[in-house]
Amino acid sequence: MTGSRRVIATRPGFDGYFAAAKRRVRAMDFRFVKIEGAGPLAKAAIAAAQAGLAKRGEWALGEAGIVRRTALGGSETILAATGDRPLDLERAVTRMRVALGLTASGTG
C-alpha cells in the first residue's frame, strides 16, 4: 500500500494489514534488548501512538502530546518514573509492554 496515512487508512483491507503488523510487533522477542535509559521506551510509546493515530486517519505533525491523544497516557507515567538502576529499567519495560498492549507471550 502506498499513499498518505489518511488515504491508506480508508482503503479496504487496511484494518487487516494494520492488525497483521501489530501481531508481528507483538511477536517480537524483546528479552534481549539492552535498555540504557528511558529513550527506547519513549520511542516505543511514540511509535504505538503514531500507529493508533494512523488507524484513525489522523496525522501528528509533532510528538508533543501524541501519546496522550491516543489514550496511552499511562506510558507517560512509566517514563516519568523509570529510574536508573537495571532492575528499575527492567520493571519499566514490563510496565510499558502492558501499557502498549503487548504481553510476554507476544499476543495482545
Classify residue 69: in a domain, yes or no.
yes
- Nearest CA to 36 out of 89, 76, 101, 72 is that of 89
DSSP string, 35-72: --SSHHHHHHHHHHHHHHHHHTT---SSSTTHHHHTT-
CA pair distance 61, 27, nearest whole angstrom: 29
With cut-offs at 50, 70 and 90, classify the pLDDT of residue 101: confident
Classify residue 108: in a domain, yes or no.
no
- Please tell me the predicted confidence (pLDDT) of residue 30: 60
Place of cell 498492549: 101
- Please tell me the predicted confidence (pLDDT) of residue 78: 85
Classify residue 63: in a domain, yes or no.
yes
Q: Between vectors from CA 51 to CA 25 and to CA 91, what angle results, nearest 5°?
A: 55
Classify residue 72: in a domain, yes or no.
yes
Classify residue 68: in a domain, yes or no.
yes
Q: What are phi and psi of 88, to 5 degrees?
A: -60, -45
- Please tell me the predicted confidence (pLDDT) of residue 73: 66
Classify residue 74: in a domain, yes or no.
yes
- Please tell me the predicted confidence (pLDDT) of residue 108: 47
CA pair distance 90, 31, nearest whole angstrom: 10
What is the residue range of 21's domain? 5-99
More confident: 15 or 64: 15
pLDDT digits (tens, 9 = 90+) for 26-74: 777 665 556 667 778 888 888 888 888 888 887 777 777 778 777 776 8
Domain count, the chain: 1
Classify residue 9: in a domain, yes or no.
yes
Classify residue 46: in a domain, yes or no.
yes
- Please tell me the predicted confidence (pLDDT) of residue 19: 82
